[in-house]
C-alpha cells in the first residue's frame, strides 16, 4: 500500500471510528435508565426498621399488596387504577385517559437509621381506537412517591 494512501486512511478512519464508537457507547449508557421509566424517591428515618415497616404498611391502607418480604424489606403493590385529569384527547373527540401505578418499596436498616426507597411504575391508556387496549409505560414525575413518603412521615411523627 502506498504511504500517502495509508496516511490518509489513518487520518480519516481512526477519528471517525472513535467518534462512532463514542456515540454508540454513550447511547448504551443512557438507554438502561430510560427503559425502566421509574423515579426513585428516598429518605432516611431516625427510627428502627420494624417501626418504619409498620408505618409503611399503615400508609398502604386501601392499596392491595402483591408481595411483601419483611426480612429483605421489599414490598410491591398491585396496580392502582384511575383517570388522568391532566390529559384528554381534545375538543372534538372527548375522552379521558386512564392511568395506573404500582409501588415498589424498599425498607432497610442502616446502623441506627432506616432507609426507605419508593419507586412508582406508571402507565396510561388512551380512551379510544386501538390505543384503548394497550397500557403504555410513562416516566413518573415523582408526585406519587413524594405523597406516599409524606404519608409515612406523618405516621412516624404521630408515634
Are 149 and 116 a contacting pair, CB within 8 Å?
yes
Each residue of 13-52: pLDDT tens digit? 666 666 555 556 554 443 333 335 556 789 999 999 999 9
Q: Which of 12-21, 76-85, 91-100, 115-124 has the highest mean pLDDT?
A: 115-124
Q: What percent of the chain has pLDDT over 90?
A: 50
Position 130 pLDDT exceeds 60: yes
Burial level of 59, CB count in 10 A (0-12/13-18/19+)? Answer: buried
Which one is the CATH code of 37-158: 3.40.50.300, 3.30.530.50, 3.30.1280.10, 3.40.50.1360? 3.30.530.50
Each residue of 1-11: pLDDT tens digit? 676 676 666 66
The SS3 call for residue 2 is coil
Q: Could you state, in order of their start, the residue ranges of all structural domains in the chain?
A: 1-36, 37-158
Q: How far apart are CA 133 and CA 130, in angstroms?
A: 6
Amino acid at each position: 500500500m502506498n504511504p500517502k494512501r495509508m496516511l490518509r486512511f489513518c487520518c480519516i478512519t481512526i477519528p471517525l471510528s472513535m467518534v462512532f464508537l463514542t456515540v454508540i457507547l454513550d447511547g448504551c449508557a443512557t438507554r438502561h435508565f430510560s427503559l425502566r421509566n421509574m423515579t426513585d424517591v428516598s429518605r432516611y428515618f431516625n427510627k428502627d426498621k420494624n417501626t418504619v415497616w409498620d408505618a409503611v404498611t399503615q400508609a398502604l391502607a386501601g392499596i392491595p399488596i402483591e408481595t411483601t418480604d419483611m426480612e429483605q424489606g421489599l414490598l410491591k403493590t398491585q396496580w392502582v387504577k384511575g383517570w388522568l385529569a391532566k390529559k384528554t384527547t381534545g375538543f372534538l373527540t372527548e375522552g379521558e385517559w386512564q392511568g395506573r401505578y404500582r409501588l415498589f418499596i424498599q425498607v432497610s436498616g442502616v446502623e441506627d437509621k432506616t432507609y426507605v426507597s419508593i419507586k412508582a411504575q406508571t402507565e396510561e391508556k388512551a380512551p379510544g381506537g386501538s390505543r384503548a387496549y394497550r397500557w403504555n409505560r410513562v416516566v413518573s414525575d415523582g408526585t406519587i412517591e413524594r405523597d406516599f413518603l409524606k404519608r409515612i412521615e406523618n405516621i412516624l411523627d404521630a408515634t
